[in-house]
Structure 1
Amino acid sequence: MFRKRTVYISYILFAIILFVAFSSEDGEGKRDSLVSIEKITLGVSTPDYPLFLALILLAKEEDFFKEHGLDVVYKFYPHGVASLKALQMDEVDMAIGAEFPFVKQSLAGGKMKIIASIAQVDALELIARKDRGISKPSDLRGKHVALIKGSQLEFCLDRFLIRHQLNLKDVKILNRTPPGIEKSILDGTADAVVYREPMASKIKAGLGENWINWGIQDQQMFFWIIASKDDYISQQHNAVKRFLQTIRQAELFLLDDPEKAIDMIIKKGNFDPESIYPMLPKIAYKLSLDKELLIAMEDEARWHIENGYSDVKEVPNYLDRIFFKALESVNPDSVNIIH
């Protein structure tokens, strides 16, 4: 009786071992098949994709989203301001834009939180026509400068002028939409414009040799951030975490094979490699929550208030506008904001 029982138990143990062995084979694929598919609608700015949103591109093109059980559907908007407004209006689940329009939305009562940033960029330039007698920053006094009022372009111009003993009152601002910025300097309506790559290269090409430029960010990076609303984050926190896990995988892919990743960016964006390669050192593709992001948002909120772009009297506490938990669970080393 004892021997029969021992043999019976041995058969059970053997069967368990076989089950574990076969279920472990191709375990990664089987595990993924058990993950429920979560659809995420993502608001994306057309001019920023794919150059500044490379990690999103790589995640999509390499099927990393699918591996993590996500069906990510893009909804394109003309700029980051529009994508963040779409998030506020519940048109999308998440949205990507720069931190500056996020600050603008927050001051207007927007209920959004930053989940992470995916790129840090220093690409803003002041481009001036040399035939208007402009060869140094002080020559901008009294000149017409085209930009989008109330935007990062005006914010950075203000800081640039102050560094050169001028201010916004010393120049004549022409408020233009993005297509109008390019047109105004090419047709001579404006003496100078504030714009960023890759559009800045088109302006220079249109002016031939008749231009001079300055980088005007003064090492204050722009952050391309992923944002969502409180209710979505609380109800879909697992999807938010999986989304960041995917972006982290894309980040590691770029670090492991930058040549292949850059080639994908150039092909997807149909870029001229010669115009893109000089841009790449100005972009840090990085999944993070950096303290510089917090400092930038506080500075930009202060500027809005001081220049009459907001009725808010005090700078908000932007620690309350950041959701730390998801990124801390994915890659804690990428979070250096004390909170």
Structure 2
Amino acid sequence: MNRKYTIPLLALGVGLIAAVAAWLAPGLRPMPIGLLLVGTPPESYSGLIAVAQAKGYFEDNGLKIALRPYAIGHTALAALSNKELDVALASDFTLATAAVNGKPYRIVASTALADVSKLVARGDRGIDEPSDLRGKRIAYERDTVLEQHLATFLQLNGIELHEVEEVDLDSGYLAEALAEGSVDAAVLRGVVRQDALDRLGANAREWPAQGGVEFYWVLAARPETLQEKPAEVRSFLRALLRAEQFLVDNEAEARRIIADWTLGSKSPLPAVDEVWFEIALEQALVLSLEQGAAWRLRGHGGSDRAPNFLEYIDPAPLLDVAPPTVTLLR
């Protein structure tokens, strides 16, 4: 889905914001005390967590969180599958791939839409235009949304996949591999992209990789978590919704909080036209998951047919906290 909001970072209409605010008003919901193990990359598209933490919204909702950073959503979801976390954030494509491979989880909400992936190349390898990538070694981490973004970028630029050499690398090594020259280009985003740009300096060449199509950033939980910690999950959602409202009301401060959380106080502010924050469960998310699964199955999928993603979504927590944000067709 390709969505652009009229006001940068403003994800909800005024009427919907008012409706959600009414549900979040003090006294309408209990404030349980509990601990939630949360895994996410410290990236701009996870920024609502940074805002909620900085403003004390988790504590206000009686919730303690243990925040565990991961290089990419793929590894956070793997930790969730290994029962090391209660909830994790990952891309829709990563979740679609996990479902194709039979991994159990439940989607609780989407938290953002993002258009942040870039194709970064070394100019000293004779790469000044996308067409120069033919015959070059291009790195990405397989089974992540970066794999899909590479295919999209090549297709949009008239390059067949067999015309490049694919290199599967852990995201933690992508910037280093590109800087050292063991690969000619890489599909990068967020902190890893900034690291690569800093290392390459004027030698860097960069192009948007997603073709203007955003990916969903999604909050997923273990099924056992939803049974054993229902109050904690709902408190977590309330805190994120308050963070979303704070971002609408105080955009400059919220963006600085997010920048400090991702790359430190000297980092550039996250671009307002690359991430759109919205806590929701909408039908377009289901479509995006189905498209991701179909793309994976055309490649090296696990099962022989796409999962029914409505079975992977539990709308109950968000319906309890903010009913207007759930627009699924069930």
TM-score (normalizing by structure 2): 0.84
Matched, 1:248 2:241: yes
CA distance in 1, matches of 2:199, 2:31: 51
Q: Aligned runs of 1:318-329 on 2, under 5 Å?
A: 318-329=309-320
Which residue of structure 1 lines up, in the alignment, with residue 302 of structure 2?
Answer: 311
Q: Aligned runs of 1:27-46 on 2, under 5 Å?
A: 35-42=31-38, 44-45=39-40
CA distance in 2, matches of 1:142, 1:300: 27
C-alpha RMSD of matched pairs (Å)? 2.4
Select the structure that is richer in helix: 1
> Which 5+ residue runs of structure 1 have no aligned equivalent?
1-26
Matched, 1:295 2:287: yes
Which residue of structure 2 lines up, in the alignment, with residue 166 of structure 1?
Answer: 159
Which residue of structure 1 lines up, in the alignment, with residue 82 of structure 2?
Answer: 89
CA distance in 2, matches of 1:51, 1:117: 15
CA distance in 2, matches of 1:162, 1:34: 51
Give the counterpart of 2:114 among 113, 116, 121: 121
CA distance in 1, matches of 2:319, 2:51: 22
Q: Is the 8 A contact 1:50 1:57 kept in 2?
A: no
Q: Between the two structures, name the one with larger relative contact order (CA 8 Å, sep ≥ 6).
A: 2
CA distance in 1, matches of 2:158, 2:259: 40
CA distance in 1, matches of 2:78, 2:175: 25
Which residue of structure 1 lines up, in the alignment, with residue 9 of structure 2?
Answer: none
Q: Which amino acid in the other structure matches residue 240 of structure 2?
A: I
Which residue of structure 2 lines up, in the alignment, with residue 157 of structure 1?
Answer: 150
Which residue of structure 2 lines up, in the alignment, with residue 142 of structure 1?
Answer: 135
CA distance in 1, matches of 2:269, 2:181: 27
Q: Which amino acid in the other structure matches residue 296 of structure 1?
A: S
Matched position secondary structure for 1:220: coil
Q: How far is the alpha carbon of 1:125 from its aligned partner?
A: 0.5
Q: Which amino acid in the other structure matches residue 288 of structure 1?
A: A
Q: Is the 8 A contact 2:71 2:171 kept in 1?
A: no
Matched position secondary structure for 2:135: coil
CA distance in 2, matches of 1:97, 1:228: 11
Q: Which amino acid in the other structure matches residue 39 of structure 1?
A: L
Which residue of structure 2 lines up, in the alignment, with residue 332 of structure 1?
Answer: 323
Matched position secondary structure for 1:224: strand
CA distance in 2, matches of 1:268, 1:137: 33
Which residue of structure 1 lines up, in the alignment, with residue 275 of structure 2?
Answer: 283
Q: Is the 8 A contact 2:107 2:219 kept in 1?
A: yes
Q: 1:176 to 1:170 in 2, by over 3 A?
A: same
TM-score (normalizing by structure 1): 0.82
Q: Which amino acid in the other structure matches residue 317 of structure 1?
A: N
Q: Aligned runs of 1:35-74 on 2, under 5 Å?
A: 35-42=31-38, 44-45=39-40, 48-49=41-42, 51-74=44-67
Q: How far is the alpha carbon of 1:267 from its aligned partner?
A: 3.1
Which residue of structure 2 lines up, in the alignment, with residue 211 of structure 1?
Answer: 204
Q: Percent identity?
A: 26
Q: Which amino acid in the other structure matches residue 118 of structure 2?
A: E
Q: 1:131 to 1:245 in 2, by over 3 A?
A: same
**Greater Rg, structure 1 or structure 2?**
1
Counting matched residue pairs gives 306
